[in-house]
Amino acid sequence: MWIRKLAVSIAFVSASSLFARVFEVPVSQVEVIVPDAENRNPELGPRVCLQFDLPNEVRGIEIGYARLEIRLRLQPDSRDSLVNFEAFGLMSDWNENQRWDDFSTPGGDIDSNYFSSGTIKCAIDDVISLDLTNLAQEWNSSDDANHGLILIPRNSDSNAFTRFEYSREQLRGLAILKILVPGQDAE
């Protein structure tokens, strides 16, 4: 009888360690940057810089998947209905008072090794979802590697994003990084 109880206990503990765990990481820093009025190029709309501090429970273990979700409701005009976004890792530190020209490369010191893209349908979709697995794995490799990311719209005629009127505080509550950690390493 006790052998059966032991076997059931072992099976329960083993099965529970197989389940994945999801961490929802809030934004620690956010800033919307725009080019100066005299240098405004119609192809350069606002960009959003985001920073996420990975939780201690994730440090040093495998990240199976990481996804950025931002809830936005963009209103189209007669020229656009889709906005394409690209996300890149940033290569330098920044702060919440950062301006376009404060980066050594105006508009952001972009690391093109870490790239993701997605599309949102204006007035229909309200969630931009981007795969950031490789970038989150890099951030997890070293504290020095985490400079956050920059979200860039790529529709040059996209008035929906050019009219972007979300404040820093609004964006802080609209963006989340979801990290999936495989079960065998999540204890």
Q: What is the mean pLDDT of the chain?
A: 79
Amino acid letter, residue 122: C
Helix (H, G, I), strand (E, B) or coil at 156: coil
Q: With b meaning 16 or more CB within 10 Å and e meaning fewer, what string describes 63-102?
A: bbbbbbebebebebeeebbebebbbbbbbeebeeebebee
Looking at residue 79, its pLDDT comes to 56
Which residues are 33's β-sheet partners? 47
Which phi and psi (to 5°) does residue 146 adopt? -90, 100
Mean pLDDT of 36-56: 79
d(CA 7, CA 176): 40
pTM, entire model? 0.80
For residue range 135-177, what is the model confidence (pLDDT) as tens digits? 999 999 887 889 999 998 876 445 555 556 677 888 888 899 9
15 pLDDT exceeds 50?
Answer: no
Looking at residue 50, its pLDDT comes to 96
Helix (H, G, I), strand (E, B) or coil at 5: helix
For residue range 90-111, what is the model confidence (pLDDT) as tens digits? 999 999 999 999 999 999 999 9
